């Protein structure tokens, strides 16, 4: 059994006049949400053997703020393939994870992360959490998937159970849609 936790980057600042999308920073609401999600992960006792993440600025800042709330830091393995990746590319990243890591935190972007969850978790009506993800995987959300595989290289569609799905608004309604 392998455990994959997916963290979507927090809300970024579209008002910041950066030249490249890759360089777009977080906004204040995103910082608040990322810290809150880190605190939540710490309260839940989440542990990670490995962190693999997109090197985009908004992901780097999400992780810095997440780990400030979490109370400890993990050294990231930056993987440019995760930046705006398709679910097929993300599945390749998962399959390439080292066997020594049983619990992995992957931080990246939508729509790839959401689609990866929908590919990994069977659409059989047995998972209300999957249905919630299908509606939307908002910024700074955290999804924990248990993959029924012995090796990451065996990851494939319909092999996971969605153990938990937490959105920032689940922890603080002020971070829900339509609020600033």
Each residue's pLDDT expressed in tens, for the chain with a length of 180 residues: 999 999 999 999 877 676 788 999 999 999 999 999 999 999 999 999 999 999 999 999 999 999 999 999 999 999 999 999 999 999 999 999 999 999 999 999 999 999 999 999 999 999 999 999 999 999 999 999 999 999 999 999 999 999 999 999 999 988 887 655
CA angle in degrees (0–180, nearest 5) for 129-41-89: 60
* pLDDT at position 180: 54
pLDDT at residue number 176: 81
pLDDT at 13: 81
Per-residue model confidence (pLDDT) at position 21: 87
Answer yes or no: CATH 3.40.50.1240 is held by domain 2-175.
yes
CA distances from 4 to 46, 50, 91, 92 (A): 11, 10, 12, 14
pLDDT at 23: 92
Q: What is the pLDDT of residue 16?
A: 64
Residues 6+ apart with CB under 8 A from 114: 8, 133, 136, 137
Measured in residues, the chain has a length of 180
**How much is the pLDDT for 175?**
87
Contact 14, 24 (CB under 8 A): yes
**Tell me, what's the pLDDT at 48?**
98
């Amino acid at each position: 059994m392998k455990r994959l936790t997916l963290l979507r980057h927090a809300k970024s600042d579209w008002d910041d006049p950066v030249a490249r999308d890759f360089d777009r920073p977080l906004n204040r609401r995103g910082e608040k949400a990322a810290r809150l999600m880190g605190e939540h992960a710490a309260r839940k006792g989440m542990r990670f053997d490995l962190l693999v993440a997109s090197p985009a600025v908004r992901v780097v800042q999400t992780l810095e703020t997440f780990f400030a709330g979490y109370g400890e830091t993990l050294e990231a393995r930056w993987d440019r393939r995760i930046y705006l990746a398709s679910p097929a590319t993300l599945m390749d990243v998962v399959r390439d994870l080292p066997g020594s890591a049983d619990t992995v935190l992957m931080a990246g972007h939508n729509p790839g992360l959401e689609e990866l969850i929908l590919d990994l978790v069977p659409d059989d009506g047995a998972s209300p959490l999957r249905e919630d993800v299908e509606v939307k995987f908002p910024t700074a959300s955290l999804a924990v998937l248990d993959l029924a595989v012995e090796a990451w290289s065996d990851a494939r569609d319909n092999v996971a159970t969605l153990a938990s799905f937490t959105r920032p608004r689940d922890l603080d309604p002020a971070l829900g849609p339509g609020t600033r």
